[in-house]
């Protein structure tokens, strides 16, 4: 590859696609040519990159001729249809869908966690689930020093994680509720305005959802730790952007709050926000449009007597670090 790269973005008109364009510009990625791809109905529209309007082209199997890196945020079905065409063209596919995440031949990458795995790629690299990415940015620095044994996580996931329809539903229902109008859910299974829904993705026979199991299996793969014990409950909450997570972590060795703070203070991708005396702790409003994951509410788990368990709370922008930024960081590694 040359010092400047020909980049394609598939799904360029979606929320993550637009965020990818902005992230490439903000981080001054060395681009020679940028090709924006979307469905036929979006072809001909224009988006702006560095002050220049770029016409969106229809995504086709011959769209990747001369492309070095293709960033995909167009959904799993689109990835399945076009992945072979990308690889056969000589481009490297960085995919934001779940299609290849658990494929043993495809590296699953968070640059702050397992950058060395990128060397194993065979033309395709997978971007993890946003909740897993946000969690591991905060957990991995501690795991490398103390070795994680067990992880229990509860998530508070913004409606934008479900796309534009989820955001529209929250906006409409909030107005309806304030006006005492009847509310009929159309997108979510239940009313989301002024409510919590402990149900994201389909349920499995064991009672966990696919979203929850993604966090289990993706964490094990990226940490190269198949015996890691993880239990997760994923909850949709009525906010527009940025996911939060409550973490309970048990380590092999004793660990203190002071040690955790010292490790995380200089950890890549982490901003320590842990000053409860001044009411400073991670919140989704503060995490929105931030590259780093905010970490705070760090405390010893008082339910254990062995001083090996820590509780903390984190917030991260799932559109940015959870999707677009992570994909661009993978491209930077390449």
Report the run of H or E that residue 299 belongs to, with start and end: strand 293-300
Angle at 171 between CA 166 and CA 176, to 5 degrees: 120
Instruction: Give one DSSP letter per residue of 71-99, joined into a string.
Output: EE-S-HHHHHHHHHHHHHTTPEEEE-SST
Architecture per CATH, domain 132-318, reads as 2-Layer Sandwich (3.30)
Residues of the chain with CATH 3.30.360.10: 132-318
Enter the tokens of residue 30. Answer: 């060395």
pLDDT of residue 3: 87
pLDDT of residue 74: 84
CATH number of the domain at 5-128+324-333, please?
3.40.50.720
Known catalytic residues are: 130, 243
The pTM of the full predicted model, rounded to 2 decimals, is 0.94
pLDDT of residue 114: 97
Which residues in the chain land under pLDDT 50?
1
Smallest CA-to-CA distance from 161 within 238, 104, 232, 89 is with: 238
Residues of the chain with CATH 3.40.50.720: 5-128+324-333
| Contact predicate 233/276, CB 8 Å | no
pLDDT of residue 2: 54
Mark out the alpha helices in 89-209 (DSSP H runs): 130-146, 164-178
Distances (CA, A) of 273 to 157, 252, 276, 283, 296: 20, 26, 9, 9, 5
pLDDT of residue 321: 95
């Amino acid at each position: 590859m040359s010092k400047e790269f020909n980049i394609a973005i598939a799904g360029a008109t979606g929320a993550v696609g637009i965020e990818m364009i902005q992230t490439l510009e903000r981080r001054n990625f060395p681009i020679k040519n940028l090709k924006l791809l979307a469905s036929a109905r979006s072809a001909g529209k224009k988006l702006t990159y560095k002050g220049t309007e770029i016409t969106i082209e229809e995504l086709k199997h011959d769209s990747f001729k001369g492309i070095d890196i293709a960033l995909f945020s167009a959904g799993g079905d689109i990835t399945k249809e076009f992945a072979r065409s990308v690889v056969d063209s000589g481009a490297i596919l960085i995919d934001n869908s779940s299609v290849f995440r658990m494929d043993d031949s495809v590296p699953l990458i968070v640059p702050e966690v397992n950058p060395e795995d990128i060397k194993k790629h065979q033309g395709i690299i997978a971007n993890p689930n946003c909740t897993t990415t946000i969690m591991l940015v905060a957990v991995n620095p501690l795991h490398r020093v103390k070795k994680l044994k067990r992880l229990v996580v509860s998530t508070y996931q913004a409606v934008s994680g479900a796309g534009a329809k989820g955001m529209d539903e929250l906006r409409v229902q909030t107005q309806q509720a304030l006006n005492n109008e009847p509310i009929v859910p159309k997108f979510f299974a239940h009313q989301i305005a002024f409510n919590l829904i402990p149900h994201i993705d389909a349920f499995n026979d064991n009672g966990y959802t696919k979203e929850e199991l993604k966090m289990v299996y993706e964490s094990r793969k990226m940490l190269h730790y198949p015996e890691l014990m993880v239990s997760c409950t994923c909850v949709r909450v009525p906010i527009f952007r940025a996911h939060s997570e409550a973490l309970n972590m048990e380590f092999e060795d004793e660990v203190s709050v002071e040690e955790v703070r010292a490790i995380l203070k200089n950890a890549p991708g982490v901003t320590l926000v842990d000053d409860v005396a001044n009411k400073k702790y991670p919140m989704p409003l503060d995490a929105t449009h931030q590259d780093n994951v905010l970490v705070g509410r760090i405390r010893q788990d008082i339910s254990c007597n062995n001083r090996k368990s820590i509780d903390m709370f984190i917030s991260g922008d799932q559109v940015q670090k959870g999707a677009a930024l992570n994909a661009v960081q993978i491209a930077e590694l390449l």
